[in-house]
Every structure is written in structure tokens, then in C-alpha cells.
Amino acid sequence: MTFINTETLAGSDLRRSTTIADRQSPPQQTFIDMAALFAEREADRYAMHTRHLNEQMVRVLRTIGYDVNFCRGQGAYLYDRRGAQYLDLLSGFGVFAVGRNHPIIRETLKSILDGELPNLVQMDVSTLAGILAERLVALAPYLDKVWFTNSGAEAVETAIKFSRAATGRSGIIYCGHAFHGLSNGALSVTDEEIFRNRFEPLLPDCVRVPFNDLDALERALHERAVAAFIVEPIQGKGVNLPGEDYLQGAAELCRRHGTLFVVDEIQTGLGRTGRFLAIEHWNVEPDMVLLAKALSGGHVPIGAVLARKPIFDKVFDRMERAVVHGSTFGKNDLAMAAGIATLEVLAAEGLFERAARAGEKLQRAFGAMAERHELVREVRGKGLMIGIEFGHPRSLKLKASWNLLETASKGLFCQLITIPLLKEHRILTQVAGHGSHTIKILPSLTISDSDCDWIIDAFDAVVAASHRVPGPVWTLGKTLIGHS
Ligand SMILES: Cc1ncc(COP(=O)(O)O)c(C=O)c1O
């Protein structure tokens, strides 16, 4: 220690204490070198998680051979201990839109740490939050206000609370196959048994309607007790696209019934589908838009609820209600800076357009694969959110093998594609939900033309191999049946 609090010391005591302290202190450590700590302990990661965290996750990774020990991330890539490069098509479930460890995001965050700004004063308002809010609503000018959160689920919680307060109604409608997060309120509007099971009862008055069904929505809205209809413009689980008129029709029905139209763009927003918001593809202006994931720049958790002014006016209608909603870390400087820097990078690198172009190239190639290979049932998506759905084959040999696998565990077939993609082609990808037959492609928006070729060649090889019975792909299937 080199600093002594002079207020607690006096006269000669000060000189003597300083000398003793200096002589006894260990060598000065200026910071904890996390990269060195990571290198020292990375080999223990699975053991530490088995002992102290979620043991079942370790079992899953080992069973499907995903225990790779990634040691570095840069752009759209991950690197293992030997320095081998992998193309990451999960991008942290959509977090790394601008790529991992983008130099501008990093330098921006360092400038916050070095700037000694008056972060989280609480009894003040944040300048950086003002700037980020201003820039977000400039991209969706029909919205006026922004509420910042620490995650996507927390943005969903906020939308539920604000809708109820703004309308004086309690009902929330959500869609079949929806995913809106796993906190209590968000889970109440998420349609997946495995997530809900054992955590019920959840929030009351949350009603599910089938996605893409305007009649069902109208029936649910009819009694005028519904605060909000919440919907993903493209569903993340399964990569399900709306019918051409669905979102416009839903917005119109909501308006007619006094219900707020809330779009969850937590996965689809910020350029993922080739536009700032996916909803722009269908020319709809929602009452609330939810963002998170990519806004973090891949570094600092953040969520945002963009809303029309009258909604805020109802929630915060007098001074004593100024703090009725909030969270300690919301609007923290690091998160706001990550958001501001992310918007800059998205614009400077033309990433909306790049996502649209790369997405078109990939969809065209996958579409051609679907024509050549009977196991590929459908390819769908927009920009760099693409689903490749596999389905029941027609030929006898394949049918028998498919049935065996699917009887053992629904959706297991997709692992016969994802595992060789990782092992043989160093492509990290996964299925689009539990028991799903759809593999989702959700890479960084920065992927290059040659990355697209890497993806196309790898899928082509693995999908072709999956049509050979007997063959190594189906031998892997037998091993997986054993595990399942
Ligand atoms: C559409 C959608 N909404 C909400 C969430 C929840 O976000 P978070 O995991 O940050 O809580 C997710 C996460 O995958 C999502 O894809």
C-alpha cells in the first residue's frame, strides 16, 4: 500500500507509519490480470462448473462433444487452445452482432473507465442515457421515450407492467411458440412447457393465441380486457415468419380494441434481419419495441423499451411516482456507452445492408440444398436469422433410421448435423429450440463472403453425408440414442 490516510495520523506518527507501511507492503499490484487468470484456470472450467455451477450443462456439452475449451473470441470467430479458428453461428444467441471484442466498443468502454464519470448518482439523471435514448428514437421516430433495463427479460417485465398501468387492464396476449425470456413475468408469456414446468403458477391473465392467426387474436381481444399483445416479428424458437398481412392485421386489431401492440425485437432488432427493426419489413409502427442482446456490443448487459409518450405519461403521472419502476444498475455508464458505440459501429460498417446481402446469399444456397436433399424440408428467415428445417424423409432406408432416432428423442436428428458441423468443419451452431427440427443460423452481422462459402460448403457436405445409410452420420445417431 502506498497511500496512507493522513487524516487519521498526526505529526511524527505520520512519518513513522509511512516508513513501516512501505517496508512491509507486498510489491504493488496495479490490476488483476484476468487474461492470465483465465489462462491459468481454463482447463478447470468443466470441473468448477460441475462442482459449483450447473452440473447438467457440463453433461450436455460432454455428451454432444461441445466441450471444446474455447480460449479466444474475435469478430465472428472463436479459437480453441491450439489456435484453431471456428465460425460462430450462435453469436452468443445474437449478442455479438458487431462481432466479438470489436476494437471500437473496447476503446469506448476503456474511455468510460478512464473518464471517472459520475456514474449511477441516482439522485441525478444520466447524460449518456439521454444520448443513447435520443439516438434510439431517431431510428424509430414514431416512438418518443426509452426505458433502459439490464436484460431482455427485464425489458419484457417492463412492457408488461407499463401496459397494465397505461391501460388499466390486466390481460396480456402472447403467441404459441413465443420466447420472451425466463424471469417470472417473461416466462408467463413464453410458450414452452420445459421452461414453465415446475415454476408455475405464473402471472395471471396471460393468454396464448396461435401465431399467425388473426381470428384467434380478435376473439382474445374482444372483451377489451387486454393490456398488450406481445409478439416477436420473427419467432426465435423455430425461426417462424409471420404471414404477409399478420403483423399489420394484429396492429390494427390492437388499435381497434384499445390494446397496446408490443414487438419483442430482442433477437431480431438492430440489423439482424437487414433493417434496424424486423417489423419494418411489414411497415408497422408498434406502441412499444423491446431491444437487448446486440445493443450490449457483446460486452455490457442492457435492454431497452422504446415507447410512445402517452404510455410513460400514465406510468409516471406525478412526482411521487417518479421512481415507481426501475433498477439500480439500469442506465449505468458502461451499458450506455456500449449501446452508443454499437449504434455507431452498425452504421459505420453498413451492417444492416451487409446482413441483408449475406442472408440472401445463404438462403439461396440453402434453398438449392433443399431441392437436392430430401431431409431438408424448408429454409426460411430474413437477413442473418435463418432456419433450416429438416423433416421426415420419403425413401425407405432413411425413413427407418429417422424413425428410430426420433422415437428415442424428438429433434435428435438435428444433432447429427450440428455435431459434424462442429467436429469436422469448425462451425458452432445449434437447434432453434427444444425438440426442434430446425437449425438456426445467427452469426455476427460482420461475416464475410468467404465465411458464407465456409457455411455453405460445410452444410452441403454434412447434409449430403446424412443421406447415406449406413454411414458415419447414422453411426453417430446410434451413439446418441444410447446416451438419450
Ligand atoms: C425474443 C427474445 N425475447 C426475450 C429474450 C430474453 O432476453 P434475455 O436472455 O436477455 O433475458 C430473448 C432471449 O433469447 C429473446 O430471444
**pLDDT one-digit tens code per residue, 71-106:** 999 999 999 999 999 999 999 999 999 999 999 999
> CB of 148 within 8 A of CB of 121?
no
Structure confidence at residue 29 as a pLDDT band (50, 70, 90): confident
The predicted structure's pLDDT at residue 477: 87
In 3D, which of 270, 298, 293, 333 has the Cα closest to residue 153? 293
pLDDT at 36 over 90: yes
Residue with cell 404471414: 243
CA distance 247 to 299: 32
Dihedral of alpha carbons 139, 141, 146, 150, sign: negative
Give, using CA atoms, the residue closest to atom 2 of ligand 1: 180
> CB of 97 within 8 A of CB of 294?
yes
The predicted structure's pLDDT at residue 290: 99
Structure confidence at residue 397 as a pLDDT band (50, 70, 90): confident
| Residue 95 backbone phi and psi in degrees, to 5 | -75, -35
pLDDT in tens, 442-473: 999 999 999 999 999 999 999 999 999 889 88
The share of the chain scoring above pLDDT 90, in percent, equals 87
Q: Which protein residues are within 6 Å of ligand 1, measured from CB?
A: 93, 151-153, 156, 179-181, 232, 236, 264, 266-267, 292
Q: Most confidently modeled of 5-19, 52-66, 466-480?
A: 52-66
CA distance 179 to 189: 8
The predicted structure's pLDDT at residue 18: 47
Q: How many CB atoms sit inside 10 A of residue 457's CB?
A: 13
| Residue 386 backbone phi and psi in degrees, to 5 | -130, 135
Average pLDDT over residues 112-139: 97
Give, using CA atoms, the residue closest to atom 6 of ligand 1: 181
What residues are labeled active site? 179, 264, 293
pLDDT in tens, 296-352: 999 999 999 999 999 999 999 999 999 999 999 999 999 999 999 999 999 999 999
CA distance 380 to 196: 27
Give the DSSP per-residue string, 333-389: HHHHHHHHHHHHHHHHTTHHHHHHHHHHHHHHHHHHHHHH-TTEEEEEEETTEEEEE
DSSP-based three-state secondary structure for 184: helix
Rounded-to-5 percentages of helix, strand, coil across the chain: 50, 15, 35
The predicted structure's pLDDT at residue 26: 66
Structure confidence at residue 1 as a pLDDT band (50, 70, 90): very low
Average pLDDT over residues 45-60: 97
In 3D, which of 248, 207, 112, 226 has the Cα closest to residue 164? 226
Structure confidence at residue 482 as a pLDDT band (50, 70, 90): confident
> CB of 294 within 8 A of CB of 272?
yes
Pocket test for ligand 1, best of 191, 266, 296 (most atoms within 8 A of CB): 266
The predicted structure's pLDDT at residue 440: 98
DSSP-based three-state secondary structure for 108: helix
Mean per-residue pLDDT of the chain: 94
pLDDT in tens, 211-220: 999 999 999 9
> CB of 128 within 8 A of CB of 337?
yes
Average pLDDT over residues 415-428: 96
The share of the chain scoring above pLDDT 70, in percent, equals 94
pLDDT in tens, 10-22: 344 444 444 445 5
Q: 233 CA distance to ligand 1 centroid (A)?
A: 13
Give, using CA atoms, the residue closest to atom 10 of ligand 1: 152
Give the DSSP per-residue string, 240-284: BPPPTTHHHHHHHHHHHHT-EEEEE-TTTTTTTTSSSSGGGGGT-
Strands 206-209 and 171-175: parallel
The predicted structure's pLDDT at residue 30: 86
Question: Which residues are CB-contacts of 166 (< 8 A; sequence separation ≥ 6)?
Answer: 227, 260, 310, 311, 314, 315
pLDDT at 184 over 50: yes
**Of 184 and 434, more confident:** 184
CA distance 196 to 188: 8
Pocket test for ligand 1, best of 160, 177, 180 (most atoms within 8 A of CB): 180
Give, using CA atoms, the residue closest to atom 3 of ligand 1: 180
